[in-house]
Amino acid sequence: MNAARSCLLPFLALVLTAAPDELRFAPDEGAAVTRTFREVTELDVERGVIDMAGEEEQLPDDFGLAVRTERVVVLSDEYVAVSGGRPTRLKRTFDRIDLALTVEESHSDEDDPQATDATGASELEDLTAVFTWDDGEGQYGVAFEDDDGDEDLLAGLEEDADLRGFLPAGEVSEGDEWEVPLEALARVLRPGGDLLIELDLDDVEGEEASVVFCSFWNAAATAEELEGEVDARYAGLVEEDGRELARIELAVKLRATREVLELARGILEAAGVDSEEVGMLDSMEVTYELDGEGVLRWDRDAGRVAALRLEGDVVLTFAISGEDEGESLRMELGFAGRTELTLETERR
Q: Is residue 91 over pLDDT 80?
A: yes
Q: Using a pLDDT cut of 90, give the percent of the chain over it.
A: 53
Domain span including residue 170? 20-347
In this predicted structure, what is the pLDDT of residue 20?
81
User: Is residue 330 assigned to a domain?
Assistant: yes
User: Is residue 135 assigned to a domain?
Assistant: yes
In this predicted structure, what is the pLDDT of residue 207?
75
Question: Which of 58-62, 67-71, 302-306 is predicted least confidently?
Answer: 58-62
User: Is residue 150 assigned to a domain?
Assistant: yes
In this predicted structure, what is the pLDDT of residue 17?
47
Q: Which residues contact 113 (CB under 8 A, 6 or more apart)?
A: 64, 66, 104, 105, 106
Question: Which of 15-29, 72-86, 146-160, 194-208 is predicted least confidently?
Answer: 15-29
Helix or strand run (H / E) with residue 324:
strand 304-324
In this predicted structure, what is the pLDDT of residue 8?
54
In this predicted structure, what is the pLDDT of residue 12?
41
Q: Is residue 25 over pLDDT 80?
A: yes
In this predicted structure, what is the pLDDT of residue 59?
80
User: Is residue 14 assigned to a domain?
Assistant: no
Q: Tell me the C-alpha to C-alpha distance, in Å, between residue 296 and each of 24, 177, 323.
A: 14, 14, 47
Tell me the average pLDDT of the chain.
Answer: 86
User: Is residue 197 assigned to a domain?
Assistant: yes
User: Is residue 12 assigned to a domain?
Assistant: no
User: Is residue 13 assigned to a domain?
Assistant: no
Question: Which of 51-55, 187-191, 218-222 is predicted least confidently?
Answer: 218-222
More confident: 234 or 50: 234
Question: Which of 36-40, 54-58, 130-134 is predicted least confidently?
Answer: 54-58
Helix or strand run (H / E) with residue 262:
helix 261-270
In this predicted structure, what is the pLDDT of residue 110?
66
User: Is residue 5 assigned to a domain?
Assistant: no
Q: What is the mean pLDDT of residues 115-120?
A: 89
CB 68 within 8 A of CB 336: no
Q: Is residue 111 over pLDDT 70?
A: no
Neighbouring-strand partners of residue 319: 285, 332
Number of domains in the chain: 1
Q: Which residues contact 220 (CB under 8 A, 6 or more apart)?
A: 189, 254, 256, 288, 290
